[in-house]
Amino acid sequence: MSYFAGIDVGSLSSDAAVIDQDGDLKGWSVTETGAHSTNASEAALDAALAMAGLGRDDLSFVVATGYGRAAVPLAGKKVTEISCHALGAHSLFPDVGTVIDIGGQDSKVIRLGPGGKVTDFVMNDKCAAGTGRFLEVMAAKLGVGLDDLGRLSLAADGEVGISSVCTVFAESEVVSLVARNQPIAQIIKGLHRSVVNRVAAMTGNIGVQPRVIMSGGVAKNAGVVALMAERLGVEIAVPEEPQIVGALGAALMAKREAQ
């Protein structure tokens, strides 16, 4: 039996996926990238291999993706994350037409054609607004756990609008809202709306083709997913583990390379 691995080195997390020759997922991991991308990539791969009950010698080929892919010495090939996210999403949802990926420090919208081929995409990697980092900063300012944002947003009975699109100015705006005793849940929902509006605006140039899925760490935030579905007027599917879609795509690329 042959096995293949994909490693996706992002700004906040490094993710790995291991598949067999049939393309079935055998192991995966999501780890913090920290200050050393190379160490993080190796830790992510070893964790995924441990889940699969395999060792590095069992791997036939490894592909790296993500912004830190150049720092992965184990990879036989390095591939853009756009291609890997598209392939990973298509393997999970064969009828996918649009992938919305909101990661730690970038966000991207990818249009797919037949067979999961990328037909167009748009990406924001210049500004933290509309990314997981934006929500992380705001959660810390509100004294709320990052994992609690979605639950609180869904429970909010109203919404406080956030006018600032810049993370720094939005942070000051949140401090002012808290000082005025605005309900925390309503502030969170307003922050989520800000992220959704920012990302939804990116779709204007390429459009949204159902079926729509969300990937990346922010896809774990049910509040953002619900508002995105409302904003775009479509149903949105979320993979069981949305953070490994890019790594899965990279593993499938590794299988292709080996063959």
Query: Model confidence over 195-205: pLDDT tens digits?
Result: 999 899 998 87
| pLDDT at residue 238, rounded to an integer | 97
In percent, the amount of the chain with pLDDT more than 70 equals 97
- Amino acid, single-letter form, for residue 119: T
pLDDT digits (tens, 9 = 90+) for 123-180: 986 666 677 788 888 888 899 998 899 999 999 988 888 877 677 777 778 888 888 8
Question: Rounded to whole angstroms, how far apart are CA atoms 87 and 53?
Answer: 25
Residue 79 and residue 224: Cα distance in Å, rounded?
A: 29
Residue-wise pLDDT tens digits, 78-136:
999 999 999 999 999 999 999 999 988 889 999 999 888 999 999 986 666 677 788 88
Distance CA 28, CA 6 (A): 9
Question: What distance in Å separates the CA atoms of residue 4 and residue 209, rounded to the nearest whole number?
Answer: 31
Give the pLDDT confidence of 21-30 residue by residue, as tens digits: 999 999 999 9
Is 187 a residue whose pLDDT tops 80?
Answer: yes
Map out the domains of the chain with their CATH numbers: 1-93+243-259 (3.30.420.40), 96-238 (3.30.420.40)
Taking each continuous run of H as one helix and of E as one strand, the counts in the chain are 8, 10
Q: What is the pTM of this model?
A: 0.91
**Range 233-245 average pLDDT:** 96
Rounded Cα gap, residues 73 and 90, in angstroms: 27
Q: How confident is the model at residue 51 (pLDDT cuts 50, 70, 90)?
A: very high
Cis link prior to 151 (omega < 30° from 0)?
Answer: no
The mean pLDDT of 203-230, rounded to a whole number, is 93
What pLDDT was estimated at residue 53? 97
The rounded percent of the chain whose pLDDT value lies above 90 is 66
Query: What is the side-by-side order of every strand in the sheet holding 212-215?
Result: 118-124, 107-112, 98-102, 212-215, 236-237
The torsion angle over the Cα atoms of residues 2, 251, 116 and 108, rounded to 10 degrees, is 180
Separation between Cα atoms, residue 236 and residue 93, nearest integer Å: 12
